[in-house]
Amino acid sequence: MDWVNHHWLDLMAIGIIVTGFYWCFRREVGVGWQGFKPSFYIRGLWAVFLGIALIGGGASYLFMNSTFMKVDTCLDSGGSYNYQEQMCEYA
Kindly state the helix (H) or strand (E) to which residue 87 belongs, with its residue range.
strand 87-89
Per-residue pLDDT for 1 more than 60? no
User: By the 8 A CB rule, do 71 and 89 touch?
Assistant: no
Average pLDDT over residues 75-88: 87
Q: 52-68 burial, b if ≥16 CB within 10 A, otherwise e?
A: eebbeebeebeeeeeee
Overall pTM > 0.95: no
CA distance 57 to 27: 18
pLDDT tens for each residue of 6-63: 677 778 888 999 999 999 999 999 999 988 999 999 999 999 999 999 999 999 888 8
Decide: helix, strand or coil at residue 38: coil
Q: Which residues are paired to 31 by β-bridges?
A: 40
Q: How confident is the model at residue 3 (pLDDT cuts 50, 70, 90)?
A: low
Q: How confident is the model at residue 65 (pLDDT cuts 50, 70, 90)?
A: confident
CA distance 85 to 51: 36
